[in-house]
Amino acid sequence: MSQLPFLSVSGLTCERDERILFESLDFTLSVGEILQVSGPNGAGKTTLMRVIAGLSLDFRGQINWCNQPVEDDRPGFQSSLLYMGHQPGVKSTMTPEENLQWAMGLHRSLTREEIWGALEKVKLRGYEDVPCYQLSAGQNRRVALARLFLAKQKLWILDEPFTAIDKLGVAELEQTLVDHASSGGLVMMTTHHEMNVDYSGFRQLVLGEKQ
């Protein structure tokens, strides 16, 4: 991809419990790219995602968005990203419809038709009013993934999005990520899943490698 980077990271260093997870980390992410962060357990993959998303400020280094330090306009940067953590982030006592209305409410108001359309895309149409504690782990993950079809944010930061999804769901999610990137978005994700996509904008960043 020849696009100038929207996201650029330089000299990023983070430690936890007096142990350095990664140091002097440099990378960029441009429009149309999918960046898979990989590495062994404990290499700092989730920590890196939380740092980029602004959920952890315990780091040294520079993070720029559109050539400006994110700390100069952190609310503006965070309004441009959608973060999904390793856990689905679904409230079990609420229905899928209520969960999506609550999760996306900070960004924009949603119509019932929009929510039902997103649930249809993740094969949960008809379950919109079922309490999530009655759904399987895979179905709860699909409730969380329905947010991808409602999001207007340019940058997606996804931590292990393929967890608990069946084979068909994996293929559909892969295509969703490619569709978002190819239409002008950016994706940064961690996953142990080996991506089965033929997409020129796909890159990997491996943490924990010996220099």
pLDDT of residue 2: 47
How many residues are listed for the chain in this entry?
Answer: 211
Q: Is residue 175 part of a domain?
A: yes
Same domain membership, residue 100 and residue 70: no
Q: What is the pTM of this model?
A: 0.92
> Cα(103)–Cα(97) distance, rounded to whole angstroms?
10
- Mean pLDDT per 10-residue interval, the chain, length 211 residues: 78 90 95 95 93 93 96 93 92 96 83 95 95 96 95 95 91 95 96 87 86 45
Q: Is residue 85 part of a domain?
A: no
Question: How many CB atoms neighbour CB 211 within 10 A?
Answer: 4
Range of the domain at 119: 91-152
Same domain membership, residue 46 and residue 24: yes
Given 132, 152, 172, the domain boundary residue is 152
pLDDT of residue 1: 44
pLDDT of residue 149: 95
